[in-house]
């Protein structure tokens, strides 16, 4: 092979290598835009009306789902209170953005359903614009089956978070309870709180924490009493949640 043939060979080989490199670069660029072209940045929806938020997310190829509705004295009814994922998050198209909607200030009076038949109680709640939340059953001697024993939140409660009322209903004496409505134990001595739970076979784990004692109040400020050592300051699950004998309740207790 003469020198001219060798030069031509290397020219052709170089050209082929250049074409392969260009093809690979084009493929990588196409893949990059394909991947990142399918990603969008989640906009800030807080304060928007639900229809406006739905329109904006649809324009970005995202779905919108209203997961919860809460009362709010600060955000007008029909506007968004919170969202997930947070604004600025990068997600793929067709992702579902979940939001909570404001119901505005609480304007309904929580009816008293204790002593009513369950069906009547549920009807009264719906007439008041409220939803029936968790319904638990508990045998109660001498009380007719289906009678409401307790409710959470209680009658005429103010500043409730959601339009939902949980009910505790009487079950037949022969029927084992299928669950209970978690009572509000905050403020009770830990021994009393544990005793209330032990009565229905639920275990509680206390977690002792240091609690700082702030000022007792000054001027026209209301008097703030110090937290007594041994008092429950927090609970999980919260009051109103459905619990059963498999639930382990965590109680935060002041040292």
Number of domains in the chain: 3
The reply to whether 151 falls in a domain is: yes
Whole-number pLDDT of residue 5: 65
Whole-number pLDDT of residue 138: 79
Whole-number pLDDT of residue 216: 46
Q: Which of 128, 146, 181 is the last residue of a domain?
A: 181
The reply to whether 21 falls in a domain is: no
User: Are residue 98 and residue 123 in the same domain, yes or no?
Assistant: no
Whole-number pLDDT of residue 124: 95
User: Are residue 173 and residue 228 in the same domain, yes or no?
Assistant: no
Whole-number pLDDT of residue 224: 45
Tell me which DSSP letter residue 227 carries. Answer: P
The reply to whether 1 falls in a domain is: no
The reply to whether 19 falls in a domain is: no
The reply to whether 25 falls in a domain is: no
**Cα-Cα end-to-end distance for the chain:** 95
Q: Which of 153, 181, 209 is the last residue of a domain?
A: 181
Whole-number pLDDT of residue 54: 93
User: Are residue 254 and residue 195 in the same domain, yes or no?
Assistant: yes
User: Cβ contacts of residue 126 below 8 Å, gap of 6+?
Assistant: 132
CA-to-CA distance for 127 and 163, rounded, in angstroms? 12
The reply to whether 94 falls in a domain is: yes
User: Are residue 96 and residue 43 in the same domain, yes or no?
Assistant: yes
Whole-number pLDDT of residue 223: 45
Q: Which of 102, 122, 138 is the last residue of a domain?
A: 102
**What string of pLDDT tens digits covers the 255 residues of the chain?**
556 666 566 677 677 777 777 677 766 655 554 445 578 999 999 999 999 999 999 999 999 999 888 999 889 999 999 999 899 989 998 899 999 999 999 989 999 999 999 999 999 999 999 999 888 887 777 888 899 988 888 899 888 888 999 888 888 766 666 677 788 888 888 888 888 888 778 888 888 887 655 554 445 544 444 677 888 888 998 887 878 888 889 999 887
Q: Which domain holds residue 55?
A: 39-102
DSSP one-letter string for 150-195: EEESPTT--S-SSSEEEEEEEE-TTSPP--EEPP--TTSBHHHHHH
Specify the 3-state DSSP secondary structure of 228: coil
- Whichever domain contains 80, its CATH number is 3.30.10.20
């Amino acid at each position: 092979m003469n020198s001219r043939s060798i030069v031509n060979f290397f020219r052709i080989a170089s050209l082929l290598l250049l074409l392969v490199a260009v093809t690979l670069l084009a493929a990588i660029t196409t893949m990059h835009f394909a991947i990142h072209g399918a990603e969008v940045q989640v906009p800030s929806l807080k304060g928007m009306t639900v229809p406006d938020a739905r329109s904006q997310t649809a324009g970005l190829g995202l779905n919108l789902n209203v997961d919860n509705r809460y009362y709010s004295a600060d955000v007008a009814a029909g506007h968004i209170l919170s969202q997930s994922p947070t604004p600025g998050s990068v997600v793929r198209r067709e992702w579902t953005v979940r939001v909570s909607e404001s119901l505005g200030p609480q304007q309904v009076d929580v009816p008293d359903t204790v002593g009513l038949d369950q069906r009547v109680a549920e009807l009264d709640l719906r007439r008041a614009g409220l939803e029936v939340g968790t319904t638990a059953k508990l045998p109660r001697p001498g009380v007719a089956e289906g009678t409401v024993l307790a409710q959470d939140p209680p009658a005429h409660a103010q500043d409730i978070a959601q339009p939902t009322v949980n009910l505790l209903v009487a079950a037949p004496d022969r029927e084992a309870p299928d669950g209970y409505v978690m009572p509000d134990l905050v403020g009770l001595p830990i021994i009393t709180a544990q005793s209330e739970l032990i009565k229905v076979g639920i275990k509680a784990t206390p977690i002792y924490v240091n609690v700082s004692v702030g000022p007792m109040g000054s001027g026209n400020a209301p008097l703030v009493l110090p937290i007594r050592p041994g008092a429950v300051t927090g609970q999980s699950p919260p009051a109103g949640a459905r619990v059963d004998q498999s639930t382990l309740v965590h109680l935060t207790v002041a040292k």
